[in-house]
Amino acid sequence: MKKFWTILAIVVAAAIIACLVFCPKKGKKAAEEPKAVSAIVVVDELYDFIDGSLACHRSDTCVANSAALLAEAAKDPSYPIIFVCDHHPANHCSFAEQGGPWPPHCVQGTRGGEIADELKQYVKAEYTFNKGEDPALEQYSGFEGRNSAGQTLDEMLKSLGVQEVTVIGIATEFCVRNTAEDLMKAGYKVTIPEDCLACVDYQGHVEAIEAMKAEGITIK
């Protein structure tokens, strides 16, 4: 009987020691794990895509719904709201006069290249990534842009610990799709609210949405 009590005492002591040793460590480990941070990436909500040379379908609702989404997100001042912008020189290779598929658009210094007024209040220089600045390069993806500090979008998102990205903007089939796919390939969880998109061609929009769904991008 004495042996039983001795064994019980050892078991209880071992349980207490185990709890003291492991429980605080567990708590510490949880605190050290990076927080799941999310961000919004706004693609090309620029006047040439809204009402200019490349005006897109549903651009008005896209801008209005984007403004509502950003107003909600901006309630947390630390929430990253990132802009990706076409920022072309006048002789860009994507323009028809240079043999490209598009009319001139989003030329540096013109209204067509400006972000929609409804969204301007959320713009920060370090969170703005310009693309298509090299006359010889077409860059649909925000992943190819740089901010004023020379950072890429991926570098900035990683520095902020971002893991989940909501992508909105124009145009579904081109810059939105390319940006969303590059984010997904780089390991981010990507969500696209469909009411915050505008497109060059509606059928192209539908096909792009289906393709992105199949690739694992969440469309809501």
d(CA 9, CA 3): 10
Choosing from 138, 154, 164, 207, which is the catalytic residue? 138
d(CA 68, CA 196): 10
Task: Mark whether 92 is an active-site residue.
Answer: no
SS3 label, residue 25 = helix
Which residue, judged by CB position, is nearest to Zn ion in the bound state? 86
Task: Mark whether 57 is an active-site residue.
Answer: no
Task: Mark whether 205 is an active-site residue.
Answer: no
Choosing from 48, 57, 59, 88, which is the catalytic residue? 88
Of 39, 56, 62, 86, the one binding Zn ion by CB under 5 A: 86
Task: Mark whether 94 is an active-site residue.
Answer: yes
Number of residues that bind Zn ion (CB under 5 A): 2
List, in order, residues 6 or more apart from 115 with CB less than 8 Å away.
Answer: 42, 45, 46, 83, 85, 123
What does the buried/exposed string (b/e) look like for 28-53 if buried means 16 or more CB atoms within 10 Å of the residue's CB?
eeeeeeeeeebbbbbbbbbbbbbebb
Establish if 44 lies at the interface with Zn ion (CB under 5 A).
Answer: no
Task: Mark whether 154 is an active-site residue.
Answer: no
To Zn ion, the closest distance from the beta carbon of 79 in angstroms equals 28
Choosing from 62, 67, 171, 199, which is the catalytic residue? 171
Interaction site with Zn ion (CB under 5 A): 86, 132
- Any idea which residues carry the catalytic annotation? 44, 86, 88, 94, 105, 131, 138, 171, 175
